[in-house]
Amino acid sequence: MAEKEDEPEFKVTDRRRFTATGQARTDVSDSPRSEGTRTQRPPEPKAATAPEEPWDGGMKGASHEEAPLDFISFVVSLATQALVMLGEIPNPETGQLTVNLAAAKQTIDIIGMLQDKTKGNLSAEEDKTLGEILASIRLAYVNKIRTKS
């Protein structure tokens, strides 16, 4: 294959200070390169103070055991959010009962989507629990809609 005349030439210079065997090379100078100027980035600013304790998700001082991180605990977490949005459970941050039907419906639909997408991939216990959770929060949503009307 013939080289084109209009292509620029590249010169590769090995500036490594050590050989592949780990011996120091004598043909390389320690001085910085002189062909071009290179701008250096200023050092990254460091945080004034590092946090003393890791973030606890806003649960400071709450005594709770670590829940297992599995599919059902994730679904229960979503269902709890839906119940908070339905006003069935007080908001843990404010302690108030608030209703947001659109957000509750969206969360319930997400759980329904998870049920559809995981069909055939769950254990019998997970499938049964997911179905029961979804049925109960759908019923709570329908009851809330009926009482609003």
Q: What is the DSSP string of 42-74?
A: PPPPPPSS--SS---TT-TT---PPPP-SHHHH
Residues 6 or more apart whose CB falls under 8 angstroms from that of 56 comprise: 62
111 and 82 Cβ atoms separated by less than 8 Å: yes
Q: What percent of the chain has pLDDT over 90?
A: 48
Mean model confidence pLDDT for the chain = 81
Q: For residues 121 and 8, which has the higher predicted lDDT (pLDDT)?
A: 121
Q: Which of 141, 68, 70, 136 is nearest to 104 (CA)?
A: 141
Q: What pLDDT does residue 57 have?
A: 54
Q: For residues 35 and 86, which has the higher predicted lDDT (pLDDT)?
A: 86
- Helix (H/G/I), strand (E/B), else coil: 18: strand
> Above 80 in pLDDT, residue 66?
no
Cα 78 vs. chain centroid, distance in angstroms? 16
pLDDT-based confidence at residue 32 (cuts at 50, 70, 90): low
Q: Angle at CA 112, nearest 5°, toward 140 and 83?
A: 30
**CA–CA distance from 133 to each of 65, 72, 83, 88 (Å)?**
22, 10, 11, 14
Q: What pLDDT does residue 4 have?
A: 61
- Look-up: residue for tokens 């769950």? 122
Q: What pLDDT does residue 21 have?
A: 82
> Above 60 in pLDDT, residue 38?
no
Q: What are phi and psi of 78, to 5 degrees?
A: -65, -40
pTM of the model: 0.55
> Above 60 in pLDDT, residue 107?
yes
